[in-house]
Structure 1
Amino acid sequence: MVKVSQTLSRSVNEQARSLDQWDQRYNQISSGEFSGTTEMVDFEDLMLAREMMTSQVEQRASPPEGFVAFSIPSVPNQIVHLDEKREQNRVGLMWSGTRYHAMTERASHIVVVTMRQQMLFGALDELEMKCPKTGSIAVGNVSALFERLDGLLALIKAKPEILSDDAFCRRTVGYIVAQCARAISQDGSPLDSKSSWRIDRKRIVRASCDAADEAGVERATLALMQRTCRVSPRILQYAFQEVLGISPLRWLKLARLNKARRDLESNAFTSVTDAALCSSFNHLGRFSTSYRMLFGESPNQTLQKFQGCVAELPAM
């Protein structure tokens, strides 16, 4: 049975939960009130979704077990991939069991296709192609692929009754799988010196972010991030500025603010003070100011808003 859903999100944490069965965590990077939308058509073995967000977001995601996913931006270079083998102007190819790490531009518009791995393998066999082992695929025209799949979503949204036609659904699934399979190409051209330099910077950023997450961002320090990558403070600074456009200290502060918001939304704490201290903010006034500047509301407003949502849930 085909399911159609639309989710409106008030925070990056709600947005991260909008794709069913995915293991995701988002951090809001740009300042201002967040707004996000996810529209999804679930054909059971294949899901076609459109994700739109008004803020710059750091994404960490893994597809469901046994699935492979394609992340297709509306505009090339709209996503900065932090995986070493991903280059700009490529579609993200994500396998279950792997961790996808990327940064979106502000006001991002992305189509996500999630399908069972065997469906992709079968389509590639018909095309006599091998499935790439790298983390990304080169696509000749990213915008054209996006427009075809985004147009299909628009058609279904305008005429949802067509999903009652089983033949149409089968043709649609076959069309989506074929489009994704044909988009795959092996790019054997060697990397130039600039690309190699960017990959080195990405490796530094990803390794230091992973080290901070593993230690807990509330306990992580710049010294830990530097030791993990075995680089000087200056090189770490250059890498973050080049890849993410922010300093490592700014990234760490944003990660802690996002942790505090997750704690407040999940009702892990009943007071703002406890949430601030748990995220290593010892000055409550500065914490509240930074929090409001990033999320467009005070931590007290977040606590009250999501406590109210919990209170409205029916008793089980």
Structure 2
Amino acid sequence: MPSHDLDHAIHETCDVHEHAASLALWDQRYEQISGGRFEGRIEDLRIGPVQLFREQTSRAVVQQGLPRPGTLTLAIALASGGDDRICGRSLRPDGGYAVIADGEFELVTHGAFDVLALDIDRQALAAHASQVSGATVTGDDLQVQGPRGLHGHDPHQVELRTLLLDTLRTARESPGLLQHMAMRRALVQTACDALLARIRLPMPTQEAHATAASRERVVREARAWMRAHAHEPIDVPMLCDALGVSRRTLQYSFEAVLQLSPVTYLRALRLNGVRRELMRGSVEPVADCAARWGFWHLSRFAAEYRALFGEKPSETAARARTALH
């Protein structure tokens, strides 16, 4: 993955043209087509190759322009004032989404409108896709059906919306957590996975020829590498790089041998890493410790920690600090 430089900004405007110019790296033209005072808000988060933003507009608008160059964009409506259309097709809050290539697009809204957009550098996404699939994926392989993109219904949209909104909330309310590289890396990987889930990837031919012995070897080597690096905030791409296997191969091997996904196994490993640090009685905030181990969704982290260890992380930390005094 390329650099994970971070930038977060919020822009509030009362003019549609000022609003159009406030989204960094996009080339847009807006025309207000319903009467009344315009109010707009953009919250923009950029982490390396990923840009995530939420855009809110109060009046009917025609938007035309170009996304960030060299990217693919996933758009999800949160609220709508009518039959809003992107590239001529409906974009509704009840399950619709659009994937837009880096060609020109048009969005027509009919009142108050609220949208989440996730755009990712095509080359970074291709590198991530190669690691996921085990096949060589190039930026050209990630083409969608022309600049108008793909449109569809997503049964997991509620989960995805929550994930993206929580990411923005973390940047807004707990910006210090994003200073941890493990946190930023986890966010970039999660964003790539979200977009790749809506693009068909090639199946590697070598996976069809995997044997029970080869899968056992993958799991054995993976667990040995994890033990040797237990003090580090390990993630799945890091593990795949170390073993020289694709994420798909790693997934199939763990499911066949342990009846667990590598993500589940790694989550338990990382939770144990946090617990070891908390039990040392450090005065470091629990949130910072969790972020260093790649847990950026703090309420989910606390629930997973309690489910695994039978107590809240704050209880572990308090008991350890008491024992030291």
TM category, shorter: 0.5 to 0.7
Q: Within 5 A, what are the aligned runs for 1:1-316?
A: 1-75=5-79, 80-83=84-87, 86=89, 88-89=91-92, 90-96=96-102, 98-125=103-130, 126-127=132-133, 131=142, 133-134=144-145, 135-141=149-155, 142-184=157-199
Which protein, 1 or 2, shows the higher relative CO under an 8 Å CA cutoff with sep ≥ 6? 1
Instruction: Give 5+ residue unaligned stretches, structure 2.
Output: 202-325
Q: 1:14 to 1:49 in 2, by over 3 A?
A: same
Q: TM-score, normalised by structure 2?
A: 0.51
Q: Is the 8 A contact 2:70 2:122 kept in 1?
A: yes
- Percent of aligned pairs with the same amino acid: 22
Q: Helix, strand or coil for the counterpart of 1:3? A: strand
User: How far apart in 2 are the matches of 1:55 and 1:14?
Assistant: 14
User: How far apart in 1 are the matches of 2:183 and 2:38?
Assistant: 36
Q: Deviations over 1:180-222 (max 9, x none)?
A: 2113469xxxxxxxxxxxxxxxxxxxxxxxxxxxxxxxxxxxx
Cα distance, 1:149 vs structure 2: 0.6
Q: Is the 8 A contact 2:50 2:120 kept in 1?
A: yes
Q: TM-score, normalised by structure 1?
A: 0.52
Q: Is the 8 A contact 2:85 2:108 kept in 1?
A: yes
Q: 1:55 to 1:143 in 2, by over 3 A?
A: farther
Q: Deviations over 1:47-78 (max 9, x none)?
A: 11111111121111211221222222114896
Q: Is the 8 A contact 2:100 2:144 kept in 1?
A: no
User: How far apart in 1 are the matches of 2:184 and 2:83?
Assistant: 30
User: How far apart in 2 are the matches of 1:184 and 1:55?
Assistant: 32
Deviating more after overlay: 9-18 vs 86-95 = 86-95
Letter in 1 for 2:116: V
Q: 1:35 to 1:87 in 2, by over 3 A?
A: closer
User: How far apart in 2 are the matches of 1:160 and 1:180?
Assistant: 24
Bigger radius of gyration: 2
1:242: which partner in 2?
Answer: none
User: How far apart in 2 are the matches of 1:178 and 1:77?
Assistant: 30
Number of aligned residues: 184
User: How far apart in 2 are the matches of 1:61 and 1:78?
Assistant: 22
Q: 1:147 to 1:183 in 2, by over 3 A?
A: farther
Give the alignment's Cα RMSD to 1 decimal.
2.6
Instruction: Give 5+ residue unaligned stretches, structure 1.
Output: 187-316
